[in-house]
Structure 1
Amino acid sequence: MRMMKLSLLSLAIAGTTLSHAALAEEDFSKVFTQAKPILDARYRYEHVDQDNALKHANAQTLRTRVGVQSGKWYGLSALVEADNVSRIGDASYNETRNGQSEYSVVADPDGSEVNQALLRYDHKSGSAVLGRQRINLDNQRFVGSVAWRQNEQTYDGVLGQLKPITGMTLTYSYIDNINSIFGPGNGRYDNKTNPANIEGHSHLLNAQYVLLRDFRGAPQLTLTGYSYLLGLDNIAVSGAAALGSLSSRTTGLRANAAVGDFSVVAEYAQQKDYADNPQELDSDYYLAELGYTFKGDALKGVVMKAGYEVLGGDEGPGNRAFQTPLATKHAFQGWADIFLTTPADGVKDAYVGATVPLLGGSLQAWYHDFRAEQGSSQYGEEINLSYAHPIPGVKGLVGLVKYASYDADDFAVDTDKAWLQLQYSY
């Protein structure tokens, strides 16, 4: 197994930091006595109503997660956790593996899987992680764990972080397998756009530097440069496209600034083809976002944001638009998940919204206007609403009500989605 080579390399590197004399000084039993259990249970009801021939979907699922985080021994620790996703009641939805294609999709297949299994080494100058792990980089626009779905996306590989000077973090990760949200297994109803495991060789490079801080030490200006080289062998951008058509090299720069009560984000990236992608890619990504946090008594804690995000299209044959196959996509371009695959003509998303503390909980409201990046098509509009609140009397239990409504114009169909959720975390 390719992971064995990574294991030997990581252990050799870690071993150079530990002398035989030092190993005798610390009690190995701390690995067990300071271990912490992991317990998380999430019940969700999801309803999908689309203006097409598909039947309305009604899905009830329970995601149960159990595991253990060990204590540290000279910076070394381990973590193991397993997930089970179980359907409750009738399977009146298409979970991509059950063959219920007459229903709308709710992409939460049943099954059990090892979610994370890793060794970690922490040092004052950085860290290294080996094994199956959760990876979230920056705001998860390009690399994330897709934690919204019941089966989380995790990565098999190695990740190292180095902090050579104050304020700088250098991250590198090598990945040879991605456990997608469509797992844990394939079956007779999967296709080349939704494999349970995405195979290939990918390299993630990310360099972040905090240039300015305020008097309290909070970052005021942070620059992040990145290059994500994705070799994704057994997945395609569409059912008609060739395998490997999502392999890409995305290189960009992100700037976050805080000025008084305002926040500003600006980002640019370029995407090219990589590895064995049979298509020639050349598209751009832009983001500009302005936020404001109210400090007065009447609106204290309210955060408003407005932004403009562009994923470029391409006039060539097939879909060669800017894609984000490893992103936590549900957090972007509306909760109805209409644009999980960027259309060939690209997407321009103008959005505005607010997060409001309310009665001990958090209310969110967002509006999106979607248009084609190439041509004059107006795709549609979307409204998102949610409210989350801790459940009184039960520590760690949180309730969520959520709604998304997409009003189609020149793309897709009218789509309404609603969620009721209870999540307990120990």
Structure 2
Amino acid sequence: MKTRMTPIALALLACASGAAAGEDFGKLIEDGKLILDARYRYEHVDQDNALNNANAQTLRTRVGVQSGKWYGLSALVEADNVSRIGDASYNSTRNGQGDFSPVVDPDGSEINQALLRYDHQYGSAVLGRQRINLDNQRFVGGVAWRQNEQTYDGALGQLKPLDGLTLTYAYIANINSIFGPDDNRFDNRSNPANIEGHSHLINAQYVLRPELTLTAYHYLLGLDNLAIAPVAAYSTLSSKTTGVRLHGALSGFSYALEYARQRDYAGNPVELSSEYYLAELGYSLVGTALKAGLEVLGGDNGPGNRAFQTPLATKHAFQGWADIFLTTPAAGIKDGYLSAGAPLLGGTLSGAYHDYRAERGSSHYGEEFNLSYARPVPGVKGLIGLIKAARYDADNFAIDTDKLWLQAQYSY
């Protein structure tokens, strides 16, 4: 009996033979690597209210496997476990310890990333659970400071048709928030473990030269089961944000200028119309970096809170480490800041000062001081120690808050 092959089958066989001859499928395993990361943290929180001081000791353990590449294809699987060490003398938002100040590091295990990736000389595509960090993470980021990182379920594609030009599109069906991995009777509408919905991220960045990078973005966030406050209506953080960012560096000086406009989207019951501004100037000399800036998130005079919000941002990196302004106040906020970083004794010493004021009205929210020192531990490759502190002095907003962190992180 003779077997006849169609022209299409012959073409597929020829391609498969060429692929087998060109690259060894075994490279997916041979060039793979293990991922091991362990981060111990002690966090102390002292607030000027009736809550007990928080003293949280947690260990985040991350294990995973990154495959090699075969014709641009690769895969990654990564799992996290966050475990409490000692007494639960803090409010993780899931442990029922409401008499203590919050430390948002709930216990639990979760698949942090699980994805397939394709890389090409003109771009890449990623499908699955993944990190998404766009620009400086002011609008979309992974919140990697918290023990349970924020990751995204969806698809992301990047196209690089010209030197210096990167076009990015992402579709997000679910967001694994820092409050996860699980919900229970202690969660509320403003802190679900999984944020459901349909979001679209569009970002175009063009590096013209080191002195000028231009970025334009349009973020459509459909966040169905998320609210701006524990008792607010669902979808009140759904929004569409359109903006442009310019930044660059020349002869030791750096700058950033940014503007964005935010409106309601995807069934948000609240009408939004607010603006964002950023102006920043920096200078670096012999490893020492200085910055001064003003960041404005606009408020609104309407009922409720209609201020400019950034629900998917890595917020800890902005407006102070005390995390007082994770939700923008209804009157908006103007954050005038100074920061400095310098090498010291084999490590890095960093500090910042913030002055917070309302964007609408004359209220002074207070001021904040931040200080940190990070240094590799001698004799142990991959181990870094960190001590970090934040002090927020309240005026016409919130309460005095002091925070202290001691951390050791090992990465293999």
TM-score calculated relative to the size of structure 2: 0.96
- After superposition, give the CA deviation of every residue in 1:300-343 in whole Å (9 maximum; x if it has no partner): 21000000000000111111100000000000000000000000
Residues 1:238 and 2:234 aligned together: no
Within-5 A mapping of 1:140-151: 140-151=137-148
1:79 aligns with 2:65: no
1:116 aligns with 2:113: yes
Selected match of 2:317 from 331, 346, 363: 331
Match among 331, 335, 346 for residue 360 of structure 1: 346
User: Segments of 4+ in structure 1 off by > 4 A?
Assistant: none
Give yes or no for contact 2:189–2:231 (8 Å, CA) kept in 1.
Answer: no
| Amino acid of the structure 1 residue aligned with 2:227 | A
1:306 lines up with 2:292 in the alignment: yes
Tell me the amino acid that sits aligned with residue 258 of structure 1: A
**Higher Cα Rg: structure 1 or 2?**
2
Match of 2:8 in 1: none
Task: Determine which of 13, 28, 37 is the counterpart of 1:40.
Answer: 37
Structure 2 unaligned regions, length at least 5: 1-11
Aligned equivalents of 1:417, 1:331: Cα separation in 2: 15
2:194 alignment counterpart: 197
Q: 1:101 aligns with which of 90, 94, 98?
A: 98
Q: What do residues 74-121 of structure 1 show as CA deviations (whole Å, max 9, x unaligned)?
A: 000000000000000000000000110000000000000000000000
Q: Map residues 139-218 of structure 1 onto 2, 5 A cutoff.
A: 139-212=136-209
| 1:241–1:318 CA contact under 8 A, matched in 2 | no
Residues 189, 232 of structure 2: 8 Å contact kept: no
- Deviation of the 1:24 alpha carbon: 2.1
Asked if residue 23 in structure 1 is aligned to residue 9 in structure 2, the reply is no
What residue in structure 2 maps to residue 216 of structure 1?
A: none
Q: Select 1:406's aligned residue among 383, 392, 396.
A: 392
* Distance in 1 of aligned mates of 2:356 and 2:239: 24
Q: What is the TM-score of this pair, normalised by structure 1? A: 0.93
Q: Quick one: distance in 2 between partners of 1:332 and 1:276?
A: 28
For structure 1, list consecutive stretches of 5 or more residues without a partner in the other structure: 1-15, 213-218, 295-299
**1:141-200 deviation line (CA, Å, top 9, x unaligned):** 000000000000000000000000111000000000000000000001000000000000
One-letter code of the match for 2:116? L
Distance in 2, Cα, partners of 1:23 & 1:277 = 50
The answer for the alignment partner of 2:60 in structure 1 is 63
Q: CA deviation at 1:21?
A: 4.3
Give yes or no for the alignment of 1:391 onto 2:360: no
Letter of the 1:110 counterpart: D
Residue identity over aligned pairs, in percent, reads 74
Partner Cα distance (1:305, 1:339) in 2:
21
2:92 and 2:105 in contact (8 A); partners too: yes
Q: Distance in 2 between matches of 1:67 and 1:220?
A: 38
Asked if 1 retains the 8 angstrom alpha-carbon contact of 2:167 and 2:205, the reply is yes
How far, CA to CA, are the matches of 2:146 and 2:135 in structure 1?
A: 19
Could you tell me which residue of structure 1 aligns to residue 3 of structure 2? Answer: none
What's the offset of the Cα at 1:289? 0.3
Secondary structure, in 3 states, of the residue corresponding to 2:211? Answer: strand
Q: Secondary structure at the match of 2:18?
A: helix
How many residue pairs are counted as aligned between the two chains? 399
Work out the CA distance in 2 between the residues paired with 1:314 and 1:267. 20
Q: Equivalent residue of 1:355, what SS?
A: strand
* SS of 1:24 mapped into structure 2: helix
Alignment check: 8 A CA contact 2:319 2:325 kept: yes
Partners of 1:72 and 1:337 in 2: CA distance: 40
Q: Which residue of 2 aligns with 1:10?
A: none
